[in-house]
Amino acid sequence: MADNISLIIADDHPIVRQGLRQTIEKNKRLTVAAEAGNGEEAIKFIEEIQPNIAILDVDMPGMNGFDVARWIRKKDLPTEMIFLTMHSDEDIFNEAIDLGAKGFVLKDSALTDIVECINAVAQDQHYTSHALTSFLLNRSKRAIQMSEDKPLLNDLTTAERRVLKLIAENLTTNEIAKKLFVSPRTIERHRYNISRKLDLQGSNSLLKFALLNKSKLL
C-alpha cells in the first residue's frame, strides 16, 4: 500500500467521525478523503474515490457496514476494510472477518486503537482490539477443529465442490445458477446436500465453512 494512505469514514454519528478524523490526520501519511453518514453514502464515496481503506460502522441506518462490505467484495475493489462497533459480540466479529475485514475495532477504544489498526492493515496485516483477543483464539481453535473433524470434502461430488467454491466467492444462489447454467432450484439442492454431508447447521454456517476452506476448494 502507498506511503500516503487515503481513507473514508462511514459512521452515522458526526461526533464519532470528527473524533476519528482528528486522531487519524495527526499522522501526515493518513488522509480522510470523505465522511459518510450511512451505507449508501459510503458506497458512493468508495466508488468515486477508491480509498485504500474504508472504516465502516457495523450499525448504520439503511445499508449497514456489512452490506457495504458485501458490495466491496462483489465489485472486487482493492479497498481494505476496518469495522467499528460498540458491541463486544463474537458473532459480529466472525461475520466481519468472514467478509474479509482486516481490522476490527471497538468504539470505546477506537481513538487509541485506530491509527495502529490502519498502519497494520496498510501492511496487509490483521488488527483486532486487544479486548477481543479471545475471539481470535476461539476462531483459530475452530478452524483447527474443523480441519480435523471435517475431512469430508472428499465426500462431495465434483458439482458440489464447484458450488461450494462459488459460495466461498460470496455469490448468491441465483448468481451461481447463472454461472453454471442451471436453475436456482438445482443450486439450492446442492447447498442442502453439501450442508447435510458436512453436518452444517444454521443460515451462515455453509458460507463460513466455504470461506475457511477456500484454499482447499481447487
Domain region containing 172: 146-216
Q: Domain for residue 126, yes or no?
A: yes
pLDDT of residue 92: 85
Rounded CA separation 207/19 (Å): 35
Do 63 and 171 lie in one domain? The reply is no
Mark whether 100 and 56 lie in a shared domain: yes
Residue 155 in domain: yes
CATH number at residue 78: 3.40.50.2300
Domain identity same for 36 and 92: yes
| Domain shared by 16 and 124, yes or no | yes
194, burial (CB in 10 Å: exposed 0-12, middle 13-18, buried 19+): buried
| Residue 183 to residue 204: CA distance in whole angstroms | 22
Select from 131, 164, 183 the last residue of a domain: 131
Boundary of a domain, candidates 131, 160, 176: 131
User: What pLDDT shows up at residue 118?
Assistant: 96
Statement to judge: residues 73 and 126 lie in one domain = yes
In a domain, 136, yes or no: no
Residue 139 lies in a domain: no
Question: Residue 149 has what pLDDT?
Answer: 47
Residue 78 belongs to some domain of the structure: yes
Length of the chain: 218
Mean pLDDT by 10 residues, the chain (218 residues): 86 95 95 96 96 96 92 91 88 84 92 94 90 71 57 79 91 92 92 88 82 75
**Spatial contact of 164 and 215, defined as CB atoms under 8 Å apart:** no
| Per-residue buried b or exposed e for 143-179, using 16+ beta carbons within 10 Å of the residue's own CB | eeeeeeebeebeebeeebbbbbbbbbbbbebeebbee
Please check whether residues 115 and 49 belong to one and the same domain.
yes
Domain count, the chain: 2
Q: Please answer whether residues 97 and 121 qualify as being in contact, where contact means their C-beta atoms are separated by less than 8 angstroms.
A: no
Q: Hey, what's the torsion of the CAs at 52, 58, 63, 66, to 10 degrees?
A: 70
Point out the domain boundary residue: 76, 102, 131.
131
User: Which of 63, 61, 42, 62 has the alpha carbon at shortest distance from 53?
Assistant: 42
User: CATH no. for residue 191?
Assistant: 1.10.10.10
Residues 98 and 155 in one domain: no
